[in-house]
Amino acid sequence: MSDTIEKMIENYRSFRATDPFDRTWDVDFRWQQNGISIRHADTIDTKFWLTNGSETLERVVAMQHTDLLKLAKKAGRALTDPWCLKLAGLHLEHMITTFEDMEKTLVTVSYAELEQYNTVLETPEPVAEF
């Protein structure tokens, strides 16, 4: 993973990302739920559909519940659905732009990666000076 992750997504429910092969993917959020209910895992699972012309892919980003609780406590924030959606969206954007793990339908995010994505979310946007 690169040392610098930049917040580029404005709408985490629907965004675009370009892969290393110069293909643009339209990404749409489908659902988010506890992994325990669908696959007996202590995760928060976020599902996206990716489309590129005639190709459609399904990707599920899984985040360990214990990691999310630990990070929320460290960051002094509540564990919320919107925060999880943003973390998952940043990970999926990373996957697309690097093509890392793109062969997998289900990908689990490490704690270190969650920390990086949260840092991106907590970094204020630069204000343009006129």
Q: What is the pLDDT of residues 89-100, one digit of tens each?
A: 999 999 999 999
Residue 11 is assigned to a structural domain of this protein: no
Number of structural domains in the chain: 1
Q: How confident is the model at residue 124 (pLDDT cuts 50, 70, 90)?
A: confident
In a domain, 76, yes or no: yes
pLDDT at 21 exceeding the cut of 70: yes
pTM reported for the whole predicted model? 0.87
In a domain, 96, yes or no: yes
Residue 102 lies in a domain: yes
Helix 65-75 × helix 81-98 angle, to 10°: 110
pLDDT of 73 over the 70 cut = yes
Classify residue 93: in a domain, yes or no.
yes
Domain with 23 in it: 16-122
- How does residue 130 score in pLDDT terms, banded at 50, 70 and 90? low
Give a yes or no: residue 65 inside a domain: yes
Residue 25 belongs to a domain: yes
Exposed / middle / buried, residue 103 (Cβ in 10 Å: 0-12, 13-18, 19+): exposed
